[in-house]
Structures are given as C-alpha cells and as structure tokens.
Amino acid sequence: MESIPDFSHYTTEMRKSLIDKIFFMDKLDEQVSAVLDYGCADGALVDFLASIFPEIRMVGYDMSGQMIAAAKERCAAPNASFHADLQEALQALARHGVTPDHMCVNLSSLIHEVYSYGDTQSVDAFWRDINETGFRYITIRDMCCDQSAHRPALKEDVLKVRRACSARMIEQFEACHGSLSDNYNLIHFLLKYRYEANWSRECAENYLPLTMEQLISRLSSGYELIYFDHYVLPFLARVVKQDTDVTIKDYTHIKLILRRKGL
C-alpha cells in the first residue's frame, strides 16, 4: 500500500462525513455491547462513538501501524481500544465477556480499500472474517454504484469536467481506470478529483471495485438485510455542481445493515 503523503489532510477529509457514518447506531438492538470498527484508520469514528455511547465498548482494528498509533494518540476513552491484529481485537473483547453474537462489525469506507490494495486471497480472507465470525450485525457505508451506471456518459458532462478539472489529473486517471466517456469512470473521477494533495495514491485506488449487485452477492445468506439506502452524498452533489456544473445522476454511496438470522 502506498504511503499517504499528506497524512493530516487525508484524515481531516475522512472526518468530514462522521455524522453520516454513524447512521447505524440507533438501529441496533439492545443486545449489542460492542462495535468493532474494521479498518478504523486514525480512530476518529471510534473516538466519536465512545464519547456518545460510554456503555458500549468501541474497538478499532486497522492493519496500518501508522493509523493505529494515530488512533491511540487521539482517543483515550476508557471504553475504546485499538489493535493492528483482528484476532487480538476479538480476544480483547472476549476478556470483557463480549462474544461476536453481541458485536456489530462496522465497515465504513473500507471495502473499496480492501479491493484496491489486496489480492484475491486477501479479499477472500476479508469476506470470511466478515461472513463467518458470527457478528450479530454487519454495517456497511461505502461508495457504490449499481450496474446501470455502466453506460456512455453524457458528452456535455464530459466536456464540463475536462474544462473544469486538471488535465494532468484527468490524464493520469484515464491511464489507470479508462476514459471519462464511460459514465462509471466519470462518476469515479468525480468522487476523487478533490484529493489533489494525495493524488498519486488516490488516483491509483479503485473507489468503485464492486457494483451494488456484486456487493450484495458477497454477503452471507446467513444474514438478513434490515436497512438499505442507496443515495448521492449531498456534499458530493453540491461540490461537484459548484466546481464543474455537472449534476450527478447516479447513486454514489450505499448504507446497509445486516442482522444474523436466528438471533
């Protein structure tokens, strides 16, 4: 995984959507005594939730030692802990008497990174962790379009983006992901063009590795879908319109809550 040139800018951008990222907390039942934030980054979400829900254990897991170090520095809440090893995180919860059937595993802006930086084996291992550990809830918030977004882009939208955005960034994006004339690629570019400070890393990352249909197919049939929202992030729609005069016409983000069957 490429290092983050401007770490502070990167984490600041992630924190801007915290309110949207906690959508699931009022929809969990009273049996949930811990939230495992899988891919917690700098711990901003764990820190935020730990202060609001002191009665629930908040555990952050991230494979990046840099992120875990930043998380431990920012969050000292007594009901929060951070780990660079998933089994260590689960064992820490077990010491507090919390088993997976009382946990919610939260995947916030994570799945696209799993696919961007992993190989087939690591992607499959990730889905085994999520589907087979036995978590009471799986919650997901990420960027995701549906299959219908794969179509020719409107020529006037492509022209507007080419006029408004950096030619260098567009050239590098198209070399990685394909022409903006494909609507799916155009949406992909509009999701990331603002991240110029870390462009080499962000350009290479695939924000949209799965369609909505493909994502749903990776989730275990042992879970039932209890919440679904497919939408355009309001901030994104506003800033893209302001910067390029393009109106985004496809849903760009998804929120899911799944509960294990038989509980």
Q: What is the pLDDT of residues 135-165, one digit of tens each?
A: 999 999 999 999 999 999 999 999 999 999 9
Q: Looking at the predicted structure, is the pLDDT value of residue 178 above 90?
A: yes
- Mean pLDDT score of the chain, rounded to an integer? 93
Query: What is the Cα 59 distance to its own chain's centre?
Result: 17
Which of these CATH numbers, 3.20.20.150, 3.30.1020.10, 3.40.50.150, 3.40.50.720, describes 7-147+209-238+251-260?
Answer: 3.40.50.150
Closest alpha carbon to 136 in 20, 255, 30: 30
The predicted structure's pLDDT at residue 93: 94
Confidence of residue 94 (pLDDT cuts 50, 70, 90): very high
Which residues have CB under 8 Å from 156's CB, separation 6+?
none
Task: For residue 68, name the pLDDT band (cuts at 50, 70, 90).
Answer: very high
Cα separation of 24 and 59, whole Å?
16
Give the pLDDT score at 28: 97
Q: What Å distances lie between residue 107 and 28, 137, 143, 198, 218, CA to CA? A: 15, 11, 12, 23, 14
Q: Which residue has the higher pLDDT, 98 or 19?
A: 98
This prediction has a pTM of 0.90
Domain extents in the chain: 7-147+209-238+251-260, 148-201
Provide CB contacts within 8 A for 249, sequence distance 6+.
none
| Structure confidence at residue 18 (pLDDT) | 76
Residue with tokens 């992120």: 67
Q: pLDDT-derived band of residue 2, with 50, 70 and 90 as boundaries?
A: very low
Q: Going by C-beta distance under 8 Å and a sequence separation of 6 or more, which residues neighbour residue 95?
A: none
